[in-house]
Chain A
Amino acid sequence: VKRIPYWLSAAGAGAVAAALLPYHERAGAGLLFGIAAAFALALAAKALAASGLQRSEDR
């Protein structure tokens, strides 16, 4: 799983979140939307960090 790039994982999670979007106020679907959204945002942020947006304090 770790070999999958962050941006690809983020895009996948984002697609799931987008598919669930119209139903996100329904019981159950909202929970899945929340999980997919958390994955999409966190992995997108990690992809940005890995792209050079973040650099070690030691550098």
Chain B
Amino acid sequence: MTELLHPTALLLFAAPVAALCPRRARAALAVAAPLLALAIVWALPAGTERLGTLFGQPLVWLRVDALSRPFALVFASIATLAALYGWAGSRRFHVAGLVGAAAAIGVVLAGDWMTFYACWELLALASFVLILDGRHAGAHAAAYRYLLFHALGGVLLLTAIALAPDASGVGPLPGGAASGFLLAAFLVNAALPPLHAWLVDAYPESSPAGSVVLSALVTKSAVYALARAFPGEEVLVGFGVGMALYGVTLAVIENDLRRLLAYHIVSQVGYMVVGVGLGTPLALAGTVAHAFSHILYKGLLFMAAGAVLSATGRRSLAGLGGLRHSLPSVFVLYMVGALAISGAPLLNGFVSKSLIVAAAEQEQRWIVAGLLSLASVGTFLSVGLKLPGLVFGGAPRATAVRPVPRAMLAAMTLAALLCALFGSAPALLYGLIPFPGGYEPYTPGHVIGALQLMAGAAIGFALLRGELGARRAVTRDADVIYRWIGRAVGVGLAAPVARAMAALEGAAASLIERLLAAPRRQRPQPLAYAMVAVLLAFSALAVLLSLR
């Protein structure tokens, strides 16, 4: 049966069916479809390929290998958990969640660049709809800004494919310009500062369940793409260290619950990018293991943040406190995720993060390993101490706390169990990834080292507690640059654009008047003009592709 089914096709088929179903059936389908996709990916052995053609173009719809399989497995897993978490979610969430999971799995299973590109763009569109699911003015604005960034990433990707002399299989592209465009496209999606503003801007604006899906799929698809096309690219080591430190530093002063977690996506993806840049088998295994682990514990953290938001209606740390009494289960489950991301022993973050640090040490990149340890201290400081201290500790601040739905708690419990399972039995995780062997995470040195860093961070936090309290303040980020440039360009171009628009309007009006004055002649419809424009755009694209 699995010979015939493609997990992406299954999820894409389920999405419109879910759109037509009543609420309970829709929610059940949104859980069942990714679960079935997970079973299909599990049953597909490495080395499976499925070929096809479209308009004469040979395509590799599906290619399963040691790199793509773990990503597909964890994407299907988190899609299942997110759908369970968002059981009572909107039709928009269920449908876009299924399409997003289909697209992300399609990206990692694509064996040719055109299939990859189609799934990449579909993921951007599904993410756009998931951000809209926040259903407030801020979410709409953030969704359109997100779309602008990802349109840029898509154009860069398409340009790279068009420029490459041979773009048959997903992997390193020959040609300097093509390779440069490809790297730029992937770095936009990986949220490399200062191109990361879309992530911190958009993810916190989605619905609680929507942000769980978003946190798992987009940046990790980019990590997969980097690992596929740029293993051993030295520049990525510096970029990754910069991301790891930038994310934690901004997270330390962030006052918004979900923006703080979003900054930690930038930081954790930095670790993965370092692993790709190092490029050794151990480092690449660390990247895949950390992406796998990160999707589970970051999903759990966003679920806990969403549960707090649903229960209190608040997301500013300055307006929260004392929730350990009213939401004890959420507190415990949040702490499992917080300790996992901080690299605490017995949880999955420890076994994956230490792989990347060990790979850096193996290559005698001591500064890289040290800076990653520094970032790890910052992670525990903000996610493991500051955030839970302000949200769950102290005196209660929220006046009314609604109970958290059982489906949300069930999904969080399952995610926490997976974090503990892969952390306490690392062989299970290493069995799923391209692990070269020769590394043991649970040595006294590693465990004591990790515990010391956490204890040091805790002492530092206790001493600096007065400086790290919540403020009613907004953190400005790289988006300030874009807004400044946009405003400057807008002011400079406003008058000429207005004149051009007025001239075009006048020409269009006179054309319409002439057409109306000649009733016997065929009147071109606006739709016809739009179709001509689309055909011309596609023709231009086809010409560009045929030139390569």
Interface positions of A (Cβ within 8 A of B): 17-18, 21-22, 24-25, 27, 30-46, 48-49, 52-58
Contact = CB atoms under 8 A, between A and B. Distances in A.
Contact of A40 (B374, B448, B472, B473): B374
B366 A21 contact: yes
Contact of A57 (B249, B374, B474, B477): B474
A44 B245 CA distance: 11
B50 interface: no
Interface string B461-478: 101100110011111110
A21 to B, nearest CB: 4
B475 A39 contact: no
Contacts, number: 121
Given A24-B449, A41-B381, A34 B457 contact: yes
A24 B373 contact: yes
A49 B253 contact: yes
A37 B457 contact: yes
A35 to B, nearest CB: 4
A31 B459 CA distance: 9
A28 to B, nearest CB: 8
A37 B472 contact: no
Contact of A38 (B445, B446, B459, B475): B459
A37 B449 contact: no
Given A41-B249, A45-B249, 8 more contacts: A17-B374, A34-B457, A34-B459, A35-B457, A36-B456, A37-B460, A49-B253, A56-B474
Nearest to B251: A45
A37 B373 contact: yes
Most buried by A among B446, B452, B473: B452
Contacts of A21: 366-367, 370, 373
A8 B253 CA distance: 18
Contacts of B377: 34, 37-38, 41
B136 to A, nearest CB: 17
Contacts of B468: 42
A31 B452 contact: yes
Main secondary structure of the interface of A (DSSP, over half): helix
A41 B252 CA distance: 8
A19 to B, nearest CB: 11
A41 to B, nearest CB: 4
A48 B250 CA distance: 9
A9 B198 CA distance: 32
27 contacts: A21-B366, A21-B367, A24-B370, A25-B446, A25-B449, A27-B448, A30-B456, A31-B452, A31-B456, A31-B459, A33-B456, A37-B457, A38-B378, A38-B381, A41-B249, A41-B378, A42-B381, A43-B467, A45-B252, A46-B467, A48-B249, A48-B250, A53-B253, A54-B473, A54-B475, A57-B473, A58-B472
Interface string B354-386: 000000000000110010011001100100000
B27 interface: no
Contacts of A34: 377, 452-457, 459-460
Nearest to A33: B456
A54 B370 contact: no
Given A25-B445, A33-B373, A49-B475, A54 B253 contact: yes
Interface in B420-464: 445-446, 448-449, 452-457, 459-461, 463-464
B74 interface: no
Contacts of A25: 445-446, 448-449
B355 to A, nearest CB: 16
Contact of B452 (A27, A40, A55): A27
B58 to A, nearest CB: 51
A35 B459 contact: yes
A24 to B, nearest CB: 6
B98 interface: no
A53 B263 CA distance: 15
Interface in B256-298: none
B208 to A, nearest CB: 22
B62 interface: no
Given A41-B381, A57-B474, A30 B464 contact: no
Nearest to A10: B249
Nearest to A24: B373
Contacts of B446: 25
Contacts of B158: none
Contacts of B459: 31, 34-35, 38
B378 A49 contact: no
